[in-house]
Amino acid sequence: GILMLQYAFIVNDAAMINVNVFGMTTSLLYVAVFYLYSNKK
């Protein structure tokens, strides 16, 4: 997650940054959709 993204910035690896940004975006979208469609108790 965020630690790997920070490491990618430290070593200045563009491919690693792209993969981590894509993964974090996908995870955030998943959480947003989950909370949007989950039943509220």
Identify the CA nearest to 19 among candidates 41, 34, 1, 40. 1
Show me where the domains of the chain are located.
2-37
- Read out DSSP for 1-41? -HHHHHHHHHHT-HHHHHHHHHHHHHHHHHHHHHHHHSPP-
Summarize pLDDT for 1-41 with one digit per residue, the tens: 889 989 999 999 999 999 999 999 999 999 999 999 988 76
Give the pLDDT confidence score for residue 40 in this predicted structure: 76
Going from the C-alpha of 41 to that of each of 23, 30, 33, 35, 36, the distances in angstroms are: 30, 20, 17, 12, 13
